[in-house]
Amino acid sequence: MARDNLLTFTDKGIFCPEGGFYIDPWRPVDRALITHGHSDHARPGHNRYLSTDKAAPVIRARLGDITIDTIPYGETRAIGGVNVTFHPAGHVPGSAQIAVERGGEVWVVSGDYKVENDGLSEAFAPVPCHTFISECTFGLPLFRWQPQAAITADITDWWAKNRAEGRISIISAYSLGKAQRLMAMLGHQGPILTHGAVTHMTDILRDQGYNLPPTIHVTPDITHKTHPGALVVAPGSALGTPWAKRFGDAAEATASGWMALRGIRRRRGATTGFALSDHADWPGLNQAIRATGAERVFVTHGYTAPFRRWLSEQGYDAGIIETAYHGDDAQDPDFMLPEIPPGGAGGGQPPVATET
């Protein structure tokens, strides 16, 4: 069965020659299939877009006047000589894996994903396939997330301690996905204030019917005096700015998978970090790949070299795709992956990331 050219890898993105479309391209193309609304996957400049119906409102809000068609999860659409379906990725609300099928041969492009059901995003659904294109943002054995309930308890305790001390709590998170996940986790424990970027995305998702608690948009008249002990959710760029200083002697924290590394916390000046990620950890990546039944796996954005070696050791036909995706720090273009020592790929002891 000829499978080598079902999808090809170009300097514009992942391309399907028979369908005439790209998946999450990073340069302008005629037709783009988009896995989700984060800015490293949904970019401006394409002539035509296709996404899930649940992702489209955010994509429209971010990209403006675009020509976008939508498709529900699980519906098959014929495009050129292939069939395309979108399946839940569990990454953020509306996110999808994209399956491309021709003559019984199936390739799946995962975009970004996580396997733990966060109670807000549509839960990850493994798709049987022959070739799986997987992110590996956290593709090292040292990345193992605590269950969401445990992280919720940790953040709740931190917030309660700050409230008892008369301080506002500010937690930084992506404006799309992570911020709303935090709200859903914590929303019934006290007032939640939101930065404008977070408010915008939250309003869009709430209007779509996602179950989110009430929040208060931060306007110039809101300070630590008007809402003592509140939790403020804001993008990382807001920490340490005059906008944040309106809240007085606030306690600041960051929610990111990279907070599992002390060196990253120090470099970012995060006094408190919670290792909460919308990407799969090491066990999650391996679980997802096994569930597909794929014989061949291509890895992209993250610790690609060590993860490819690990997959090869497990018997997969594994390769690397160079892409322009940024993983868990898409809003931080200067972020660089912590280095690992040569040979720190997988089997045996977990590799240790260099703290910089």
Tokens 């170009």 belong to residue:
10
pLDDT at 5: 80
Please give the structure tokens belonging to residue 10.
Answer: 């170009």
Q: Which residues pair with 234 in a beta bridge?
A: 172
| Closest among 336, 345, 304, 348 to 322, alpha carbons compared | 304
How far apart (Å, rounded) are the C-alpha atoms in residues 47 and 38?
19
Helices (H), 165-298: 178-186, 196-207, 242-245, 262-267, 282-292
Largest CA distance in the chain: 68
In the chain, helix, strand, coil percent, each to 5? 25, 20, 55
Helices (H), 122-274: 148-164, 178-186, 196-207, 242-245, 262-267
How far apart (Å, rounded) are the C-alpha atoms in residues 43 and 124?
23
Predicted structure pTM score:
0.90
Element (H, E) at 82: strand 82-88
Output the tens digit of pLDDT for each of the chain's 356 residues: 334 589 999 999 999 999 999 999 999 999 999 999 999 999 999 999 999 999 999 999 999 999 999 999 999 999 999 999 999 999 999 999 999 999 999 999 999 999 999 999 999 999 999 999 999 999 999 999 999 999 999 999 999 999 999 999 999 999 999 999 999 999 888 899 999 999 999 999 999 999 999 999 999 999 889 999 999 999 999 998 999 999 999 999 999 999 988 656 555 555 699 999 999 999 999 999 999 999 999 999 999 999 999 999 999 999 999 888 876 554 443 344 555 533 333 333 333 332 22
Q: By the 8 A CB rule, do 274 and 154 touch?
A: yes
Q: Which residues pair with 296 in a beta bridge?
A: 131, 317
Q: By the 8 A CB rule, do 276 and 178 touch?
A: yes
Q: By the 8 A CB rule, do 131 and 297 touch?
A: yes
pLDDT at 328: 55
Is the CA virtual torsion 252, 255, 256, 262 positive or negative?
A: positive
Q: By the 8 A CB rule, do 184 and 92 touch?
A: no
Q: How many CB atoms lie within 10 A of CB 299?
A: 27
How far apart (Å, rounded) are the C-alpha atoms in residues 144 and 334?
24
Q: What is the DSSP letter of 307?
A: H
Tokens 């399956």 belong to residue:
99
Q: By the 8 A CB rule, do 36 and 89 touch?
A: yes
Phi–psi pair at 238, nearest 5 degrees: -85, -20
144 CB-near residues (< 8 Å, 6+ apart): 281, 282, 283
**Neighbouring C-alpha atoms within 13 Å toward the C-beta of 152:** 14
Domains and CATH numbers, the chain: 8-143+279-329 (3.60.15.10), 148-274 (3.40.50.10710)
pLDDT at 261: 86
